[in-house]
Structure 1
């Protein structure tokens, strides 16, 4: 049993070492940028690169000859361990940098927030930070958006291990077995080519709209990944440009639709494919409905007197918060009536499954609503067989049960973390919105965390780091490795 267990960990260690070495190369980009701009911190990334590369090499060398196909449990373990380890090593340059001068807790928080595309920050004075630091935050968003594991899946077959298990564990959404192409390696490549292309188009549009090259690339990383980090304390409000805001709205919506759907539209060359998909259609209808409601409230309250101005401000924040991106053009927490809480609660829904968004995903809420409707119908017709359908297809009861289980665990964990934050001395609004913003991978909250989370107690920040990881890995991927059944051979 001991030998078997050691062998079991050896294959996971080998993959983890390889992935860590791959991740280390990403630190070279901000290092070069730091040298090019000459505003410092290139050495922090050089040291971070060496530390990360050597750690990966030391993990890989002893087990480099181990060859075994990854089982599904291996896939879950690799994904969870890699996200935890990647977050820690992603924090190394931030900790070593002289600007910003932050401790371990804040460095880890910022790295976790970046990789999980949460966008919550503990940094202030962003406009004065070195370009290397600013770009690293955005790059973490971009890598975490689609999932660096999916990128690794494209090359894992060449390394002698399979990839479907990693793809299952990483891909968001309740139905994880569908593939865009017959082979998982080709699937991962298709996703990343699409992701890269959309990022390039977004950066070009931002640049044409008036952003600098640096800002356009940085915000394209953040928008397509629905992350929310910005190079400015005022976020996109720094530019105060309606064209940039509209471009960002389109980019965030693109990032919130399943990349599998984007691939299907590209392959069919028919944009109407979006509308035929029930989840995408529901998502777009929700965005339009929430935007109209927000616009009406803002006009009635007199926050904005111009209809076009009220419409674009409402649309921007509805899309930004609803897609769990977290960009801001104004302090929406100061908006009147119920709007701030309405938007925050909307982040629990998030975008479509298979997108880069956080939240529980639209498809889960659609299935929950259909299940509720079915239970009401059963009260009237107790013996009736009433199937639940989406897109004309019957959804298996096993999927419905999984959605209910996910919803129950999600809410339970949320309540537990909310109570812990209350115990640290935070008020109810701040604690509630901080947990919501973290577990939904949103970013900005309400109350004391409406602009940043720098003032939170250390314990609260570590709890929120866990919340961000749980949200990004969709709860069960992380929780499953804590169960005795997972470790039973």
Structure 2
């Protein structure tokens, strides 16, 4: 492991990220909102920091090792959250403390969608644009973008790709070369963003809202330019478009690549993970709509269907958009919907949660153990479709699940120690660890009123969720630092 190489790459990535602070400057000039100074200052700070990290080590060139990839990924997302907070901290509107600015920045980059800001409708347009843009870059992962250009700098990128792509099976590549894989992912991502933008625009949003919401929809982020989120537009067409693109973005991007390459959609219906997600959503929608109708929560059946289906898809895909406050819905609905976020979307998608494939494999392994009780000498492979899953992957899934639960409990205790009630603490940890956004209790609307120590714990939770826990925790093992 080379610290000098790590600092060199970190400097390059910071300089690349600094460019993302220039579009809000243009937005600020267009709308004359007066926030351009904050972005220019943040741009200068980020660019100079990256330059001075890169300059002393600019001649260091060698292939990245696995440890380098983990260290660079964790350091970059941590540093990115810090520097991403600068425009929000320097801006006079909203006037945020550094803790709040960091929370908002990490929430955006991790596509969590939890916010400490209220009064979005009155904020400067450049700030609104920046929040949406943070989620867009975080959705696919700016490191995947960097992987596409690292070979041009004399650095291989496979180690970065492994640490960045979510899911239990990380070594599968869409194309033989890692650079082409990263480019392919971004082409798909760009196409979906453009299609979502045009659909929103056609449905009645102005160009600013359409672009902002296309950023957060495809990224499975959930930030909005309005306090009422998607509900602000009160449009069944816009809600339908959001549902479609939330579903598409929650599916493994490898599926989209195959659909484009083979000009066929058949593999979607044949993939066990996609089928499992589909049936989970169908059953959840039926239950939710039925309870809403029986309890007379909505005025009409149509409203029950609109609100029920939208909230199920939004929460299950960990997007976090809203057309209604599901936290005040009757019976078991708030708790049940919130549990869907623990499942999340498919591996290889922009969604959060533990990923559908892991839950699917855990169920499969549970069934296998019951079979072994009846037939102790039998051999029962765990299969996904027609493929047998190696025991190494099955063990990794159980390991992830176990560590996930332990992390959840530790953070829950930490939030309870800050004075939060049980419902708020439980939902806040679950929401941030699953990169969902909205919670229950005091954090149903926003996170601005919880104590600063709780916000710092949740920032760590968001980072853990974004990097799928092990990528971050491995740095705290003695073995990682041994030569």
- Which category describes the TM-score, using the shorter chain as reference length? over 0.9
Partner Cα distance (2:52, 2:299) in 1: 63
Aligned to 2:166: 172
Q: Secondary structure at the match of 1:154?
A: helix
Partner Cα distance (1:428, 1:59) in 2: 43
Aligned to 2:351: 357
Structure 1 position 305, deviation (Å) = 4.5
Partner Cα distance (1:164, 1:101) in 2: 41
Runs of 4+ in 1 over 4 A off after TM superposition: none
Structure 1 position 461, deviation (Å) = 0.1
Matched pairs, number = 483
Identify the match of residue 230 of structure 1 among 224, 232, 238: 224
Partner Cα distance (2:405, 2:334) in 1: 20
Aligned to 1:136: 130
Structure 1 position 273, deviation (Å) = 1.3
Structure 1 position 310, deviation (Å) = 1.2
**2:58 corresponds to 1:64:** yes
Partner Cα distance (1:194, 1:239) in 2: 27
Aligned to 2:116: 122
Q: Which runs of 5+ in 2 are unaligned?
A: none
Aligned to 2:307: 313
Aligned to 2:372: 378
Q: Secondary structure at the match of 1:348?
A: helix
Aligned to 2:464: 470
Structure 1 position 313, deviation (Å) = 1.0
Partner Cα distance (2:385, 2:36) in 1: 51
Aligned to 1:21: 15
**2:240 corresponds to 1:246:** yes
Partner Cα distance (1:441, 1:191) in 2: 21
Structure 1 position 307, deviation (Å) = 2.6
Partner Cα distance (2:259, 2:410) in 1: 41
Deviations 1:59-113 (A, max 9, x none): 0000000011000110011100000000000000000000000110000000000
Aligned to 1:346: 340
Aligned to 1:272: 266
Partner Cα distance (1:223, 1:229) in 2: 9
Aligned to 1:100: 94
Partner Cα distance (2:85, 2:298) in 1: 41
Aligned to 1:40: 34
* TM-score normalised to structure 2 length: 0.99
Aligned to 2:178: 184
* TM-score normalised to structure 1 length: 0.98
Partner Cα distance (1:323, 1:239) in 2: 21
**2:152 corresponds to 1:158:** yes
**2:3 corresponds to 1:9:** yes
Partner Cα distance (1:272, 1:253) in 2: 17
**2:455 corresponds to 1:432:** no
Deviations 1:334-369 (A, max 9, x none): 111000110111100000000001100000000000
Deviations 1:200-231 (A, max 9, x none): 00000000000010000000000000000001
Aligned to 1:421: 415
Structure 1 position 308, deviation (Å) = 2.6
Aligned to 1:211: 205
**2:391 corresponds to 1:391:** no
**2:373 corresponds to 1:412:** no
Identify the match of residue 438 of structure 2 among 444, 447, 470: 444
Partner Cα distance (1:119, 1:369) in 2: 29
Structure 1 position 281, deviation (Å) = 1.1
- Residue pairs, 1:326-337, within 5 angstroms: 326-337=320-331
Aligned to 1:260: 254
**2:119 corresponds to 1:109:** no
Structure 1 position 306, deviation (Å) = 2.7
Deviations 1:15-64 (A, max 9, x none): 10000000000000001111111012111000000000000000000000
**2:276 corresponds to 1:282:** yes
Partner Cα distance (1:276, 1:40) in 2: 53
Structure 1 position 432, deviation (Å) = 0.4
Deviations 1:258-308 (A, max 9, x none): 111111111111112111111011111111111011010000001125333
Q: Secondary structure at the match of 2:343?
A: coil
Deviations 1:372-422 (A, max 9, x none): 000010000001111000020000000000000000000100011111111
Partner Cα distance (1:40, 1:191) in 2: 36
Q: Secondary structure at the match of 1:20?
A: helix
Aligned to 1:304: 298
468-477 vs 264-273, which deviates more?
264-273
